[in-house]
Amino acid sequence: MSTSPARRVIAKDTLEAFSASLLEAGGFRTDYARQSADLLVWANLRGADSHGVLRIPRYIEMVELGIVKGDAKPKLSREFGAVAVIEGDRVPGATGMSMAADKAVELAEKFGIGICSIVRTSHAGAVGYFTERVARAGMVGIAMTASKPLMIYHGSKLEGVSTNPISIGAPSRNAARPIVLDMSTAAVALGKVMAAKDAGKSIPPDWGVDSNGVATTDPAKVKAVLPMAGPKGSGLSLMIEILVSVLGGNPLISAALTDNRDAGFNGLVIALGPSAFGLGDDFEGEVNRLVRAIKSLPPAVGTDEVLLPGERGFLLAEKRLQEGIPLALGTISRLAEEAGKRGIAVPPELG
Amino acid sequence: MSTSPARRVIAKDTLEAFSASLLEAGGFRTDYARQSADLLVWANLRGADSHGVLRIPRYIEMVELGIVKGDAKPKLSREFGAVAVIEGDRVPGATGMSMAADKAVELAEKFGIGICSIVRTSHAGAVGYFTERVARAGMVGIAMTASKPLMIYHGSKLEGVSTNPISIGAPSRNAARPIVLDMSTAAVALGKVMAAKDAGKSIPPDWGVDSNGVATTDPAKVKAVLPMAGPKGSGLSLMIEILVSVLGGNPLISAALTDNRDAGFNGLVIALGPSAFGLGDDFEGEVNRLVRAIKSLPPAVGTDEVLLPGERGFLLAEKRLQEGIPLALGTISRLAEEAGKRGIAVPPELG
pLDDT digits (tens, 9 = 90+) for A63-113: 999 999 999 999 999 999 999 999 999 999 999 999 999 999 999 999 999
Give tens-digit pLDDT for A180-210: 999 999 999 887 888 888 889 999 999 999 9
Average pLDDT over residues A263-284: 95
Confidence of residue A1 (pLDDT cuts 50, 70, 90): very low
- B45, containing H or E segment: helix B30-45
pLDDT at B92: 98
CB A16 within 8 A of CB A44: no
Q: Residue A81 is nearest to which of B110, B153, B179, comparing CB atoms?
A: B110
| CA-based nearest residue to A129, from A80, A92, A79 | A92
- B110, containing H or E segment: helix B93-111
In a domain, B246, yes or no: yes
Task: Provide the domain limits for residue A133.
Answer: 81-186+227-309
In a domain, B108, yes or no: yes
Are B70 and B86 found together in one domain?
no
Average pLDDT over residues B97-124: 97
pLDDT at B2: 45
Residue B342 pLDDT greater than 60, yes or no: yes
CATH of the domain at B135: 3.30.1370.60
Residue A127: CB atoms within 10 A of its CB come to 26
* Cβ of residue A78 closer than 8 Å to a chain B Cβ: yes
Are B269 and B123 found together in one domain?
yes
Residue A273 pLDDT greater than 70, yes or no: yes
In a domain, B205, yes or no: no
CATH of the domain at A19: 1.10.1530.10
pLDDT at B1: 44
Are B293 and B242 found together in one domain?
yes
* Cβ of residue A162 closer than 8 Å to a chain B Cβ: no
Are B303 and B315 found together in one domain?
no
* Cβ of residue A158 closer than 8 Å to a chain B Cβ: yes
Confidence of residue A5 (pLDDT cuts 50, 70, 90): low
Tell how far CA A190 is from the center of its chain.
14
Quote the minimal CA–CA distance from B18 to chain A in Å: 34
- Amino acid, single-letter form, for residue A339: A
pLDDT at B114: 98
Are B252 and B162 found together in one domain?
yes
pLDDT at A281: 78
Average pLDDT over residues A143-167: 97
Quote the minimal CA–CA distance from A147 to chain B in Å: 14
In a domain, B222, yes or no: no
pLDDT at B3: 43
In a domain, A1, yes or no: yes
Are A277 and A351 found together in one domain?
no
Are A46 and A108 found together in one domain?
no
Residue B328: CB atoms within 10 A of its CB come to 15
* Cβ of residue B232 closer than 8 Å to a chain A Cβ: yes
Are B118 and B9 found together in one domain?
no
Are A153 and A21 found together in one domain?
no
Residue B49 pLDDT greater than 80, yes or no: yes
Confidence of residue A2 (pLDDT cuts 50, 70, 90): very low
Are B165 and B273 found together in one domain?
yes
Domain count across chain B: 2
In a domain, A139, yes or no: yes
DSSP-derived secondary structure letter, B211: T
Pairwise CB contact (< 8 Å): A228 & B228: yes
| CA-based nearest residue to A15, from A41, A33, A42, A54 | A41
CB A314 within 8 A of CB B273: no
CA distances from A134 to A142, A169, B84, B341 (A): 9, 8, 21, 55
Confidence of residue B320 (pLDDT cuts 50, 70, 90): very high
Average pLDDT over residues B59-78: 97
**Helix residue ranges, H only, chain A:** 12-25, 30-45, 56-64, 93-111, 128-136, 190-198, 231-241, 247-248, 253-259, 281-295, 311-323, 329-342
Are B241 and B300 found together in one domain?
yes
Q: How far is residue A96's CA from residue A77's CA, in Å, rounded to a whole number?
A: 13
Residue B306 pLDDT greater than 80, yes or no: yes
CA distances from B75 to A147, A234, B91, B103, B320 (A): 42, 38, 10, 12, 37
Q: pTM for the whole thing?
A: 0.97
pLDDT at A22: 98
Are B168 and B241 found together in one domain?
yes
